[in-house]
Amino acid sequence: MPEGEEKVASRKSNRSATSNLRNDKSNKPKDYQHFTQNLTNQSAEEYSELFFSAFNYAAIGMALVSLEGKWMTVNRSFCELTGYTEEELKAIDFQTITHPDDLEEDLEYVRRMLNKEIDTYQMEKRYIHKLGHIVWVILSVSLVNDSSGNPLYFIAQIQDITERKQLENSHHEIIAKLSKKNRYESIIRAVTQTVHRSIDLQKVIEDSVNSMSMHIEKADNVSIYMVEGKKAVIKSYRGYPESFIEKVSRIPYPKGFTWKTIIEGEVQYCADTDKDTAMGPAGHKIGTKSYLSMPIQKKNRTLGCININSLQKNAFDEEELKLLEIVAKQIEMAIGNARKAEELRTAKKRLEERVKQRTKELTKTNESLRIEISERTKTVKRLSIMSGISRILSYESRFERAAPKILRELFKVLDMEVGELWLPTTINSETLFCAEFKSSLKSKAARKFKKFTIKTTLGIDSFPGYSLKKRKPVWIPDLTKNPVFTRRQLAQELGLRSGLAFPIIVDGKPVGGMNFFTTKMAETSPDLYEMMTKLGHDIGQFLSRAKMVEELRESEARFRTMADSAPVMIWIAGTDKSCIWFNKEWLDFRGRNLEEEIVNGWVAGIHPDDRKPCIETYHTAFDKRESFEMEYRLQNAEGEYRWIVDRGIPKFSGDGMFRGYIGSCVDIHDRKITEELRRIKLTERENLLREVQHRIKNNLQMVMDMLDLQYEAIKSKKARDALRDTRSRIMSIARLHTRLRDEKKPDQIHLADHIEHLIQDLQKISGRKDDSVKFNLDIEDIKLDADTLVSVGFIINELVSNSLKHAFGQENKGIVSIKLSSSGKEKITLEVSDNGDGLPKGFNFKSTTTLGINIVRTFTQQLGGKLVRLNSRKGAGFKVTFKHSRGEFGHVQKYESSHI
């Protein structure tokens, strides 16, 4: 039923109950006679009925309390507010459910009222609900006197203000946090303004130490160390005595927490130096109780550290540590800027010295450079020729079209009258034919020479073949006297005097050659040979490249055909990071054409939240020439953003040259959504489990506190022993729930640690001396789920408690042994024994009705195990064997201690 309907129903029920009470005097409270005994007429009795009707069904809590503090009568609202029934409240006094922190004030008001100093009082106080939580109320109390003015009882009105108090506390917390935040921002601003005033390194360090010492409240000692070789050298400090500085001004590697911070490059915070092993004796001597050490870094290299010491333990909370880390980063930045400025100043001095030196050197070499420029002018001219030929080779896609242009270019340079291109007649042939002929001579002899050349085939030993065989240029100063040149007669008729032949080399093999002839008698030079050799190499490279281009075109056509039919999205990027092609699957997914997607058109389809990290990943991998994989959301043809995984790999040519990237994308949207839902559910489950464990632990702690109070109030030894045993059992459960709350994996808990803490608690409760009973533990490192652990913990709790209570006298010493082992991967055996007085004669544990043995028997049955008694000459022992398939088994850990 909704809350509003419940209230309406409650009011109707109250009115009905009031009406019934008027008609039926049997509904009067039990203490009715007490309150009406002094009333002598009928109208007084009716008045009393109306009073108690209003009392019982009032919307706020109402109660009559005796002068001794006992509840005499309470109404329904008060019972609902506290969680107790009227009978339960009448069995206790008001102090029992009052919060301890409010009890003294409440009792003081009662004392003053009884002394007639005040007639009534009102206060805000806390009741402890039956379920253990706190209920805030406004309590109004008045004292009722008889006709003679003697006090009879108290009447109390109780109004629930829990929600209001919770809201007030929430507002106070928010205000406190804002105040703290403003203070932190002021400190950060003050320190930042101070440390960035200068770029002098030492001044920055001094200002940093001064500012931290001045503005950080609990910083009693502040220092900055910088690394110099194998020592950490103090550069500035505040708050330390000089005797301390003399000892720690230069700390050798790797001593103390200063070097620990420098080596690990991480913040070191010690809240209690009494438990610390890194700090040296000098720190303890000056009274350091806690310290914070933060590294000063530059490009992942630690240059030094900032140390802040306090004379208080737990000096800094989590928020203050974050504040100090921000401050440290500002100081680190300022020190980095100062070091950079110092490096720039040093570099400037070195540069000025180098400029002076270089000026002297340039002056000395000036004359030699002038001579060299003169020589290089000739070389530049030849390089321009090579550049012209290279342009021809780059523009023409086929060698047959480029050859005439190359011959024409060389005519201009070499001042030749005849040029020829000779190629093998067949692959690997040793005969050559003239594939191209060029002549500037116009005569009958020239036509005769061309006709003869075009129809002639030459062997490998001929003039052009000779250069192919030698794989280098060949110069013939006088054609008429050279036996290698077979056309001597025709050349003489034409007037040709000198000739030059050079080979065309492709992949290290000669594939053709060029001949040039002139009518002049000329001598060649070394640089001409070099130029001709390079020219032959360039032409050969062109032929090889043309062949590769053709093969690549065919390969690319085959690739694109396969890529368009592939079930994944494929893309290709050039060397400038721009995408130059997408396959059909990609374009269908995006609902766009290739012209819209190429270059950077595809980037617009990336989800705005994913665009920046996606582009950064792509560019970073591209610059490093590394493969990459990334997930992002891409808009499809319907406008929906879907998760895809994109994998890209760099492309390289056979000679190792970078050619861009090729990548593939797969739609993983359904898997991604499923994973996210699973992660959310898992997080919710873990949070809920921890909250439940926390609440259970708090409730158990409240029960133990109530048992402690009851224990102190009871005088019967038997009852006190029963309460102590009950508290021991509850403590075992509470200990387990504490571990369940703290465990990262609460479904798998180390049993050895749990048993160790359990025994410590049992020893404290037993009241025995620490050295009277020793515990020998032989425990295999087994992890159990929470349900099994509860059962095992109860069994150990009962058996060990029995040994501590009954096995030894109060002054006698003894040994309790606990052994836990696994057999195979499912069977677990637990043995608990002692060397005490043993069990009573005729004791039959199977038929006994003692609570402890019954508990052990019950939890053994819950485990599906078997309980047997161990036979031994002295003492008593029990063995429990059970199966458990969900546990994890590891190495054996053995313990032997008298103070477990």
% pLDDT > 70, the chain = 81
CA 835 to chain CA mean position, Å: 53
The answer to which of 85-89, 221-225, 412-416, 767-771 has the lowest mean pLDDT is: 767-771
Q: Which helix (H) or strand (E) holds 531?
A: helix 526-565
Q: Is the confidence at residue 508, as pLDDT, over 50?
A: yes
- Mean pLDDT for 839-843 is 76
- Mean pLDDT for 539-564 is 70
- Find the largest Cα–Cα distance for the chain: 169
- For residue 752, name the pLDDT band (cuts at 50, 70, 90): confident
Q: Do the beta carbons of residue 863 and residue 880 sit within 8 Å?
A: yes
What digits encode the pLDDT tens for the residues 284-327?
A: 888 999 999 989 888 788 889 999 999 999 988 887 788 788 87
pLDDT computed for residue 885 by the predictor: 54
- Mean pLDDT for 803-831 is 81
Q: Which helix (H) or strand (E) holds 878?
A: strand 877-883
User: Which residues, 6+ apart, have CB-to-CB distance to 234 below 8 Å?
Assistant: 223, 224, 225, 245, 248, 249, 250
What digits encode the pLDDT tens for the residues 105-147?
A: 999 999 998 898 898 999 999 999 999 899 999 999 999 888 8
Using CA atoms, how far apart are residues 858 and 794, in angstroms rounded to an integer? 10
- Mean pLDDT for 717-726 is 78
Using CA atoms, how far apart are residues 390 and 381, in angstroms rounded to an integer? 14
- Mean pLDDT for 755-782 is 78
pLDDT computed for residue 10 by the predictor: 39
Q: Is the confidence at residue 605, as pLDDT, over 80?
A: yes
Higher local confidence (pLDDT), 345 or 551: 345
- Mean pLDDT for 514-523 is 79
Mapped onto helix, strand or coil, the DSSP state of residue 422 is strand
What digits encode the pLDDT tens for the residues 531-550?
A: 777 777 777 776 667 666 66
Using CA atoms, how far apart are residues 371 and 381, in angstroms rounded to an integer? 16
Using CA atoms, how far apart are residues 707 and 846, in angstroms rounded to an integer? 31
pLDDT computed for residue 40 by the predictor: 43
Residue 233 is encoded by which pair of tokens? Answer: 């050298």
Helix, strand, coil % over all residues of the chain, rounded to 5: 50, 25, 25
Using CA atoms, how far apart are residues 855 and 570, in angstroms rounded to an integer? 69
Q: Is the confidence at residue 14, as pLDDT, over 50?
A: no
What digits encode the pLDDT tens for the residues 722-745?
A: 777 777 777 777 766 666 655 555
Using CA atoms, how far apart are residues 256 and 248, in angstroms rounded to an integer? 10
CA 734 to chain CA mean position, Å: 32
Q: Is the confidence at residue 892, as pLDDT, over 60?
A: no
**Phi and psi, residue 432, nearest 5°:** -120, 150
What digits encode the pLDDT tens for the residues 264-280?
A: 988 999 999 988 888 88
Treating both helix axes as pointing N-terminal to C-terminal, what angle do 42-56 and 3-23 enclose, rounded to 10 degrees? 160
Using CA atoms, how far apart are residues 527 and 513, in angstroms rounded to an integer? 19
- For residue 791, name the pLDDT band (cuts at 50, 70, 90): confident
Q: Which helix (H) or strand (E) holds 353?
A: helix 318-395
Task: Kindly state the DSSP code that residue 712 receives in the 8-state scheme.
Answer: H
pLDDT computed for residue 811 by the predictor: 66
Burial of 804 (C-beta count, 10 Å sphere; 0-12/13-18/19+) = buried
Question: Tokens 């001042």 appear where?
Answer: 415
pLDDT computed for residue 478 by the predictor: 84
pLDDT computed for residue 4 by the predictor: 42
% pLDDT > 90, the chain = 17
CA 433 to chain CA mean position, Å: 74
What digits encode the pLDDT tens for the residues 16-45?
A: 433 343 344 444 444 444 444 444 444 556
What digits encode the pLDDT tens for the residues 248-266?
A: 999 999 888 999 999 998 8
Give the closest residue to 260 by CA, choosing from 232, 297, 219, 218: 232
- Mean pLDDT for 171-176 is 68
Mapped onto helix, strand or coil, the DSSP state of residue 437 is strand
pLDDT computed for residue 33 by the predictor: 47
Mapped onto helix, strand or coil, the DSSP state of residue 136 is strand
When the pLDDT of each residue in the chain is averaged and rounded to a whole number, the result is 79
Q: Is the confidence at residue 203, as pLDDT, over 60?
A: yes
pLDDT computed for residue 345 by the predictor: 79
Q: Do the beta carbons of residue 816 and residue 829 sit within 8 Å?
A: no
pLDDT computed for residue 397 by the predictor: 60
Q: Is the confidence at residue 420, as pLDDT, over 50?
A: yes
CA angle 491, 495, 496 (to 5 degrees): 55
User: Which residues, 6+ apart, have CB-to-CB distance to 115 below 8 Å?
Assistant: none
Give the closest residue to 886 by CA, choosing from 784, 781, 790, 746: 784
Using CA atoms, how far apart are residues 189 and 199, in angstroms rounded to an integer? 18
Q: Is the confidence at residue 855, as pLDDT, over 50?
A: yes
Q: In what order do the strands lie in the sheet with 151-160?
A: 71-74, 61-66, 151-160, 134-145, 120-128
pLDDT computed for residue 895 by the predictor: 41
CA angle 122, 50, 68 (to 5 degrees): 45
- For residue 782, name the pLDDT band (cuts at 50, 70, 90): confident
Residue 447 is encoded by which pair of tokens? Answer: 């036509």
Using CA atoms, how far apart are residues 157 and 62, in angstroms rounded to an integer? 5
- Mean pLDDT for 494-511 is 81
pLDDT computed for residue 471 by the predictor: 81
What digits encode the pLDDT tens for the residues 176-187?
A: 666 666 666 666
Give whole-number Cα distances, 643 to 14, 608, 636, in Å: 61, 13, 10
Q: Do the beta carbons of residue 510 and residue 474 sit within 8 Å?
A: no
- Mean pLDDT for 781-804 is 81
Amino acid identity, position 706: M
pLDDT computed for residue 70 by the predictor: 92
Q: Which helix (H) or strand (E) holds 859?
A: helix 851-862
Using CA atoms, how far apart are residues 259 and 8, in angstroms rounded to an integer? 72
Q: In what order do the strands lie in the sheet with 431-439?
A: 457-459, 431-439, 418-424, 509-518, 498-506, 474-476
Mapped onto helix, strand or coil, the DSSP state of residue 51 is helix
Number of Cβ atoms within 10 Å of the Cβ of 396: 16
- For residue 190, name the pLDDT band (cuts at 50, 70, 90): low
Q: Is the confidence at residue 815, as pLDDT, over 80?
A: yes
Residue 240 is encoded by which pair of tokens? Answer: 């330390």
Q: Which helix (H) or strand (E) holds 621?
A: helix 608-624
Treating both helix axes as pointing N-terminal to C-terminal, what angle do 162-195 and 318-395 enclose, rounded to 10 degrees? 60
Residue 234 is encoded by which pair of tokens? Answer: 């103090």
- For residue 169, name the pLDDT band (cuts at 50, 70, 90): confident
What digits encode the pLDDT tens for the residues 57-80?
A: 788 899 999 988 899 999 988 999
The answer to which of 3-17, 326-340, 514-528, 809-823 has the lowest mean pLDDT is: 3-17
